[in-house]
Chain A
Amino acid sequence: MVRGVAIFKMAARQAVLFDVSVRDSAGRTQIIPVRASTSVSDIKRSFSEKTGVPLNSYQLVFAGRQLSDADTLQALGVQSHSTLFCIRGGVKVEAVPDISVKAVEDKLGKIATDDIEDPPSSPSAANNRFYVYCKSVCKEMKPGKLRVRCASCKDDRFTLTTEPQGWSDVLEKQKLRGRCYNDKCGGDKFAEFYFKCAGHTSGAAGVRDDECVALHMIRTNTVDIECPLCADEKDIMVVFTCDGKDGHCLCLDCFKDFARLALTERRFIENAQSGYSIQCPNRCPDSFITEIHHFRLLGDELYERYQRFGTEECLLQMGGVLCPQVGCGMGMLPEDPGNRVTCPTCRHTFCRNCKNPYHRGNCDAAPPIQALAGTGQQIDGERLRRSRWDEASDAFIRSNASIKPCPRCHVNIEKNGGCMHMTCSKCRFNFCWICLIEWGRRCQDNHWFGERN
């Protein structure tokens, strides 16, 4: 019964008329109504009828592949509003490998099973889509389409000579080669892959510049793997590259929770390779989220926060400072090595070390923040209230024995248990809570747990 419905639906889909474009070498485009079952020779016939170009004088190219006359659009994975490109030449060029974009897309969408002895057969090849983040139209994660063009002249009239075996072939620049059919460029050139969103049609919304970023770590769960965090078998997984190949994974929902919490607790790690990122759930070395668009999936607000934190972290690692003034937070890289820093935005002058208003001498002797009241100056109520609140908060921090500033970056740190070995949550400095110096042998021997002298 169910099967019958599926077949009926498939037949209905094949019968639907849609448009594809055929573009000739001069950039002229013809729109041709087709069905999924339409063959390449049918399209060529329509194109020749409309334009008068002799049928035997050209071939069609789609996504890096020269098309055979017998291919149907469905077999090629050509969808509504796709563009096919004309290249000159009467016969199909020999010795061009038959590369199926659909098969490559399928491979990219799956979790590599080389290491799995008995991988379950994938239920339906059509589901093994890879995903992109569609920035321009859909503004969310969508199934992706893989396209290829010449790396030199960016012309789509290009055929691949080697089939991509996985994401590294697709994402790394200057890896695979192909043949460019642009008269001004032409010949053996490097291929450049790009991605489009399968969730909307390019022509429809009048959008041209709608290339997408591939979310290459997001895959279809073709191997029936359980998420190690929630133990559920979910359809979509985030797969980390551990030890150079597909490694530990977690489901998309847990990835979002994981990233959301790590961001809120500021536990992302700034590293040279991946930038501001999070590590594989098994903490494999060098296994990070390497494409930051994966964090787009957290939503606009958190992604904005991610970008801000990432910029701040990068600046701090370069030796920069952030303005401590409430509502400012401007980042700067002061050239003057001294402690006196003036914010170029709000003109607030503060001490580089303790972030209090600028003072002379030792930071410990810095006067507490002064209240504005009693100066006889006109100040608005809101500011006064805030200054009182600031003062109260400052007094609380100074009087609370469980809060101390990090000896290196001076951010206030609360100790809510455990031993005296502290790690600053901001700058990762390891220090002793009692001595406020770098954690070392002396403190380990004397008061690691703090209960003895």
Chain B
Amino acid sequence: MASLHITRVKREFREVVSSEEAQKSQIKIEIIDESDLTKLKGTVIGPPDTPFEGGTYILDIRIPDTYPFNPPKVKFVTKIWHPNISSVTGAICLDILKDQWAAAMTLRTVLLSIQALLQAAEPDDPQDAVVAKQYKGDPELYRKTAKHWAQTYAGAPKTTDDAEISAKIDTLLQMGITETKAREALSTHSWNLEAAVDSLFT
């Protein structure tokens, strides 16, 4: 099949670089290794009026040699608290990355779709169970947690006072728990320190 996938990657790389969204620094794509164009680094910026606003999200993009007939494999490298993205592995549940992929789509449309997913979560679709339950059951707490993750992992500007959150994480740190584990346990248990401790020590 010649090397259509490489030809396409080169062209789509140019398309992203020259796109309007890239000019506005909303999306970005980078080549990691000139000799291997099947591994790319993508970036999307958290859209305004979302808990992810101003955060920089790094994506791991793998181009299969059957691209563009099959979709690229994309996952989040930056940790994120979102109903449709795994808070542990970064796997994304997005139909166009699975069976709804169309050969006419491009890396630009993929990045824009992912950005759109950050804007409008779909909690009724397959999702990160814990995050989705929180999203539906306690939207305020969801926003708070997602924002905290965005500030911690994606470098979103600090706009809220996280003193209470920091205190709870510190408590767990003193028990010998790593910061990542502490944050995950607290987020999973609605920032209830007692429940988080229970989950970590049983």
Contact = CB atoms under 8 A, between A and B. Distances in A.
B100 A257 contact: no
- Counting chain A CB atoms within 10 Å of each CB, the highest count among B66, B69, B133, B188 belongs to B69
Contacts of B129: 444-449, 452
Interface in A432-453: 439, 444-449, 451-452
Interface residues of A, number: 29
B112 to A, nearest CB: 16
A229 B127 contact: no
A421 B126 CA distance: 8
B72 interface: no
Interface in A127-175: none
B1 interface: yes
Contacts of A417: 73
B69 A451 contact: no
A282 B68 CA distance: 12
A248 B103 CA distance: 11
B102 interface: yes
Given A231-B7, A448-B126, A449-B128, A281 B89 contact: no
B131 to A, nearest CB: 10
A90 interface: no
Contacts of B7: 230-231
A421 B127 CA distance: 10
B127 A451 contact: no
Given A281-B103, A449-B89, A230 B8 contact: yes
Contacts of A250: 103
A447 B1 CA distance: 38
Contacts of B102: 281-283
B8 A229 contact: yes
A258 B91 contact: no
Interface string A252-280: 00100110011001000000000000000
Contact of B93 (A282, A445, A448): A448
Contacts of A283: 100, 102
B86 A282 contact: no
A448 B127 contact: yes
Interface string B60-95: 000000101110010000000000001011010100
Nearest to A418: B91
Specify the main secondary structure of chain A where it touches its partner: loop
B156 interface: no
A248 B8 CA distance: 18
A68 interface: no
A423 interface: yes
B104 interface: yes
Contact of B88 (A261, A446, A451): A451
Contacts of A231: 7-8, 11
18 contacts: A231-B8, A231-B11, A248-B104, A257-B4, A258-B103, A261-B69, A261-B70, A265-B70, A281-B102, A281-B104, A282-B102, A423-B99, A445-B129, A445-B132, A447-B129, A448-B128, A449-B128, A452-B129
Given A258-B103, A281-B103, A449-B91, 8 more contacts: A229-B103, A250-B103, A281-B104, A282-B102, A417-B73, A421-B126, A449-B89, A452-B130
Interface of B: 1, 4, 7-8, 11, 66, 68-70, 73, 86, 88-89, 91, 93, 98-100, 102-104, 125-130, 132-133, 188
Interface of A: 228-231, 248, 250, 254, 257-258, 261-262, 265, 281-283, 417-419, 421, 423, 439, 444-449, 451-452
